[in-house]
Amino acid sequence: MTTPGTEADLLARVVAGDRQAFDLIMRSQENRVFSVCLRILGDRDNALDATQETFLTVFRKVEQFQGNSALSTWIYRIAVNTCYDQIRKAGRRPSEPLDDHLEPVDPAAEDAVLAAGLRPEIERALARLPADFRAAVVLSDIEGLSLPETAEALGIPVGTVKSRVFRGRRLLAEQLGNQITP
Amino acid sequence: MHSHDLDLIAAHADGSAPDDTEARALIETCSECRAEYEAQRSVLSALGTMPPVSPMTDVEKAALHRDLWTELRNPPQAARAASPGWMRWALAAAGLFVLVGVAGVLGQLGQGDSAGPEAVAFADTTTTAEAAADRGLEEPLAPQGGEDGSATTAAGDGAEDNFSETTMAAAETTATTPTDADFEVVASQARRAALAQSTTTTTVVAPEVDRCQDDERLGGQELLATVDLDRTYLIMVPAGVEITEETPITFVDAETCDVVHVVE
């Protein structure tokens, strides 16, 4: 992560054409961007393509960044839009499931939910959500962005984010059925 | 359950509610509200225990950086590289019909050769197709159906990779600004080639990743193809209409998104 001061410095250098500065920004954000893209798209190759496309767009539009949000949030927004484009162009839902791309979990750390085999189900349920609901849930509930940050990243009002996140969770619960019933 | 109640309960479930007094009261007095709260909590728990995705491997990162810098370091191809998605789609959907050979057409026109611009354009297209095939592409220039997005995009990628050399080489031969007559020749080629394609132009979707996509001056237009003359131009037509010999063709500077010329 970059501090605000160094981030502004890096951005100024990128605008001036310093590609080393851009490389630093990219390396600080690429894992999170890839993670978001993979969660939204559900396919590793597509997520890699989307990650590359995201940073191409970031580089080319960096002068348009106004500093009204965190740089990372702005990059998230580009990543989400890139994913939306992929989904729209392909006319498909994201691939499912994501199981092959998940980190192995330490069995000792698995809680009762995981032990009950819920993990693949939640992945599949997430993949079946409408793309706009899925993006909101991924950013808010998985990536841990606040509601205002999620709103910035999605380019929609906070109230709309709440609606998508809350209803997205409800849809997940409906899909998971009694597996999540305490 | 009212939307307001769902908001209160969900915000209480994730801890984002500044004041959860009302939510607590709902949960205590309303069984539906209590079930909603429990469902929200359960889903949050499940989402919170999802493991992180496998990060990019060193090989994947190296490929990402290499490919990205390759695109950024190649200024002559910047116009196409800036929007690999929609331009490559355009090329695939339109069968790569007009770009190759147009420079040659104009060059020949400039030399007073009026021996059929279509013949020149399509002869060159065939040559490019053969050249691409020689490099190992399967059906490198075949129009794609648009039903399978990933396949179409992949075909577009391959075509682009092999195509750019030819188009840039051709562009170098036409450094002068095209005349109105030049644009009319290209427009005619574009219409006829579109008519000859089984693929409709409405399969071309220009996403907002491209700088021109959101340009309000291009509202109601969609991309048919691109052409390299003295620079790269977008060839645009009214969105959603069937291409005919009368379809107006708009030429747009791919760098500035300015409308340069319209052939009615």
**Beta-carbon neighbour count of residue B111 at 10 Å?**
8
Kindly determine whether residue A90 and residue B150, on different chains, have CB atoms separated by under 8 Å. Answer: yes
pLDDT, position B113: 38
Nearest-CA distance from B62 to chain A in Å? Answer: 11
Mean pLDDT of B60-83: 70
Contacts of A52 in chain B (CB under 8 A): 64, 67-68
Least confident stretch, A6-15, B82-91, B141-150: B141-150
pLDDT, position A7: 81
Least confident stretch, A106-110, A150-154, B242-246: A106-110
Residue in the structure block whose two tokens are 């484009």: A85
Mean pLDDT of B116-120: 29
Kindly determine whether residue A89 and residue B82, on different chains, have CB atoms separated by under 8 Å. Answer: no
Q: Find, in chain A, the residue whose alpha carbon is nearest to that of B50.
A: A119
Sign of CA dihedral B91, B93, B95, B99: negative
At B86, the pLDDT band (50, 70, 90 cuts) reads: very low
Number of Cβ pairs closer than 8 Å across A and B?
A: 149
CB distance B191 to B137 below 8 Å: no
Q: Find, in chain A, the residue whose alpha carbon is nearest to that of B81.
A: A56
CA distances, B55 to each of A11, A33, B52, B147 (Å):
25, 10, 8, 31
Pick among B150, B204, B205, B215 to test the A interface (most A CBs inside 10 A): B150
pTM greater than the 0.95 cutoff = no
Contacts of B47 in chain A (CB under 8 A): 122, 126, 137, 141-142, 172
The answer to ipTM > 0.85 is no
Supply the DSSP string of B75-129, one letter for each residue: GGGHHHHTSHHHHHHHHHHTTT-SSTTHHHHHHHHHTT--S-HHHHHHHHHHHHH
User: pLDDT digits over A73-105, tens only?
Assistant: 999 999 999 999 998 887 755 544 444 444 444
At A145, the pLDDT band (50, 70, 90 cuts) reads: very high
CA distances, B159 to each of A36, B163, B167, B208 (Å):
29, 6, 12, 22
Q: Find, in chain A, the residue whose alpha carbon is nearest to that of B86.
A: A89
pLDDT, position B53: 85
Question: Rounded to 5 degrees, what are φ and ψ at B59?
Answer: -65, -45
DSSP state of A43: -
